[in-house]
Chains A and B, each alone.
Chain A
Amino acid sequence: MSTAELSQMKSDADALFRRKRIFAFALPALVLAYFVYIFFAFDIPGLIKRANWDNAVTLASDSWSYKTHVTRDNRTGETDVVIEGERKGAYPEGQRPDWVTGDDIITVDLGGDTFVRLLPDRRTEIDIPGFGMIEAQANGRQITSNLPADIPDWINASDRRVAITLPEGRVAITGSKTEVFNYFPGWELFWFTFDSPYYGHGLTEIVFGPRIDPARANIVGAVSDWWNNPMWLHKNVVWAIGETILMAFLGTMGAALVALPLAFMAARRFAPVMIIRAASRRLFDFLRGVDALIWTVVLSRAFGPGPLTGALAILITDTGTFGKIFSEALENVDAKQIEGVASTGAKPLQRYRFGVIPQVVPILLAQILYFLESNTRSATIIGAITGGGIGLLLTQAIQTQKDWEEVVYYIILIVGVVMAMDSFSGWLRGKLIGRKD
């Protein structure tokens, strides 16, 4: 090797190194610059200012706890105890939690030596250790209280309304009513509401104990009362989950059934006519390019809200995707096997059945099952748009901005279902085409 060649190689290597070095710095710099641009394009400083952290706190605390309202109507003087402020969660007449006592003077024990006393004549006393006794009197729409002018920031007082937020609970007094909110961990009434005879009974008691409701066997009655729980609506939730899975199943399988014959028309080996091939390929591109969102919008105009619309939207979008994947699989089919079948005198249809299908079935099944799982997720989103399935329940629960425990319940269910579908499709894939992963 001559010196000239050597120096040429050296300078080449130097140039390569320089290029790589520039690349190694330029790429991260580019990404960084993009993030800076996004920082301002998405208005992140403004977002932080606008973000409602109180909402986040409500969400976080409400999702694992429930509140019980003790409400005294200041006009009629009647007091009721209601869970989550819903009529369906009201304690029945004569029944009260043990932290609410007294008849003329109702004492609410919020815990931590904090007491709220609902006195006759629309008076309210709140005894807070370390702060003292707050007295409030409601007169018509006016509230008079003994609060000093300089109040701490956990009290919000005007002549129309006094609101006190304590770690133990919350008190709100207006002219019309005095409300005490007491917080407890857990999802109350998840199993049974107060009108069910099984409320307050444990699992072993229901399964093995004596008959609670004389009309029904314990297990039958308990399951039916749980199923028809008016607060948590388990029946509707299960139906909604079923609808979501149904959308995914019908959409995926329907798309596979439609796409298979079309894929033969798009594969070079099986469709010698160029125009047919090009037409079916453009059809796939079109179906995929018009996104699921647009299909959903268009279809929901025609079919109205519901699971069928969602299923059809998945079906149409995935027909495009499956068509593309299937036709690629068909192009890569080994010709020897088809020749072998043809040599026995098989007709074209038989050639497809015994020469082609056995080769592509594992690939197709793997794809279909993979899409089944991913479509369960899409069905949740499509359900939120068209109005069907668990996606609808979720959006409704979030938009009403209360009952965050229900939102968390739905989220857990959705994630559980998707994970179950994932492992189910993986298991089925292993069964049908042999374990590979």
Chain B
Amino acid sequence: MTDATFGATPAGHTVEGIRADYMAQVQRRRLYGGLTLMIFVILMVSGFTVADSRNAGGFWDGLNQLGDYPGEVLAEAWANRANLPALIVRFLPALIETVNIAAVSTLVGAGAGLVLSLLSTRGLARWPRLTPLFRRLMDIMRAMPEIVIALVLIFVLGGGPVPAMIAIAIHTAGALGKMYSEVAENADLKPVEGLTSTGATWAQKMWLGVLPQVAPNYISYSLLRFEINIRASAILGFVGAGGLGYELRNSMSWGLGRFDEAAAIFLLLFGTIVLFDQVSSRYRNRLTEGHAK
């Protein structure tokens, strides 16, 4: 095909012109890509240098010692392997507490998130003018790291599972509220209209008109949150909120000679996380794809 086909074309539309434009564009894109890459590399390298210099131990020294601690733990756990089953039984209540914290905070957080999400979804909100307020509220709840609330509550309520539960529940409500409201935005409004025509209250409309549509997604998100919350509740235990994390800190702060306990806790935590990951991902697949594979 020649340019004669197009008749009288402007200079830029000849094949040469197009090619030149294209090459220029490619070059510009390469330049931008190269610059972005360069900035990224500079950020990574300088960031690493700064982090390394502000760390108590250096990176390369640490790398050599990396295996020391796990090695000691494993060696001691292996030496005392006869104790391991007894230790696991001993720490089982702590494990149950950790899982309970996660479960309660997921339930409470999901309930609060549900209400918040419906209140802040366009078209469904009870008070449409207040949707920005509820959205902001969810943003703040979501941005609040669990540890902040947990530490403050530990100061007031004392150590134990409840501060952790409240802290995780608040964050969960914010995080789930956002995801829920994204789902609810796509909900079909016809059932709601139908219910409105029968004179249903707002709560009835939501319960009967919206929830049946969004429930599978909501439950799937909640299960994912539950996985995340198990990890969070273990971490919060470490700062004094009970459960496995607390036991782990105790067994570590005893110093040498308690590594078999640490190993038992590592094992329990690892097993729990993997177990719940597997179970929840199976159910999530079933919920979102309709049937089990």
User: Residues on A close to B: CB < 8 A?
Assistant: 31, 34-35, 38, 41-44, 47, 50-53, 55-56, 59, 243, 246-247, 249-250, 253-254, 285, 288-294, 297-299, 301-309, 311, 377-378, 380-381, 384-385, 387-388, 391, 394-395, 398, 401, 407, 411, 414-415, 418-419, 422
A319, chain B: closest CB distance, angstroms: 15
Chain A's closest residue to B151 (CB) is A398
Which 8 A-B residue pairings sit nearest by Cβ, starting from the closest? A306-B55, A304-B56, A304-B57, A303-B62, A308-B55, A301-B69, A418-B143, A308-B51
Contacts of B274 in A (CB 8 A): 285, 289
Q: Which of A51, A289, A293 is close to B235, meaning CB atoms less than 8 Å apart?
A: A293
Q: Is the interface of B mostly helix, strand, loop or mixed?
A: helix
State whether B69 touches A298 (Cβ < 8 A): yes
For B227, the closest partner residue in chain A by CB is A288
Question: With A and B bound together, what is the CA distance between A254 and B68 in angstroms?
Answer: 24
CB pair B51–A289 under 8 Å, yes or no, is no
**A182 → chain B, closest Cβ, in Å?**
25
**B152 close to A398 (CB less than 8 A):** yes
B49-81 interface (Cβ within 8 A of A): 50-52, 54-59, 62-63, 65-66, 68-70
Check A401/B55 contact, CB under 8 A, given A42-B165, A297-B252, A385-B235.
no
- Bound-state CA distance A115–B155 (Å) is 34
Using CB atoms, name the residue of chain A closest to B50: A246
A380 touches B143 (CB 8 A): no
Q: Chain A: which residue is nearest B182 at the CB level?
A: A437
Interface CB pairs A-B, < 8 A, 16: A34-B104, A35-B107, A243-B51, A249-B43, A285-B274, A291-B231, A294-B266, A299-B66, A304-B55, A306-B54, A307-B50, A307-B54, A380-B145, A394-B151, A411-B144, A414-B145
Contact of A59 among B55, B152, B269, B273 (CB under 8 A): B152
Contacts of A301 in B (CB 8 A): 65, 68-69
- Collect the chain A residues with CB atoms within 8 Å of residue B151's CB: 384, 394-395, 398
User: Within 8 Å of chain A (Cβ to Cβ): is B256?
Assistant: no
Contact of A302 among B62, B155, B234, B252 (CB under 8 A): B62
**Interfacial chain A residues near B70, Cβ < 8 Å:** 298
Q: Which residue of B lies closest to A31 (CB)?
A: B107
Q: Name B residues whose Cβ lies closer than 8 Å to a Cβ of A.
A: 40, 43-44, 47-48, 50-52, 54-59, 62-63, 65-66, 68-70, 97, 100, 103-104, 107, 139-140, 142-148, 151-152, 155-158, 160-162, 165, 231, 234-236, 238-239, 245, 248, 252, 266, 269-270, 273-274, 277
The verdict on A42 contacting B100 (CB below 8 Å), with A250-B47, A289-B273, A306-B51 known, is: yes
Quick one: closest B residue to A410, CB to CB? B148
Report if A419-B54 is in contact (Cβ < 8 Å); known contacts: A293-B234, A297-B252: no
Q: Given A289-B270, A291-B235, A306-B54, check contact A47 B147 (CB 8 Å).
A: no
Are A302's CB and B65's CB within 8 A? Answer: yes
A422 with B139: in contact, given A302-B69, A380-B145 (CB under 8 Å)?
Answer: yes
A302 close to B148 (CB less than 8 A) = no
Q: Are the C-beta atoms of A42 and B162 separated by less than 8 Å?
A: yes
With A42-B162, A411-B148 in contact, do A250 and B143 touch (Cβ < 8 Å)?
A: no
Complex-state Cα separation, A395 to B70, whole angstroms = 27
14 other A-B residue contacts (CB within 8 Å) besides A253-B40, A308-B48, A422-B143 = A34-B104, A42-B160, A51-B157, A249-B43, A291-B270, A293-B248, A298-B66, A302-B65, A303-B57, A306-B54, A377-B143, A394-B147, A398-B152, A415-B144
- Complex CA distance for A194 and B267, rounded to whole angstroms: 55
Could you tell me the distance between the alpha carbons of A298 and B274 in the complex, rounded to whole angstroms?
Answer: 19
A250 nearest in chain B by CB position? B47
A44 in complex: contacting residue of B103, B145, B162, CB < 8 Å: B162
Q: Chain B residues with Cβ under 8 A from A53's Cβ?
A: 156
Are the CB atoms of B143 and A47 closer together than 8 Å?
no
Q: Which residues of B contact A246 (CB under 8 A)?
A: 47, 50-51
Complex contacts, B50 vs chain A, CB 8 Å: 246, 307
| CB proximity of B287 to chain A, nearest CB, Å | 15
Chain B residues positioned under 8 Å from A293 (CB to CB): 231, 234-235, 238, 245, 248, 269
Residue of A nearest to B160 (CB): A47
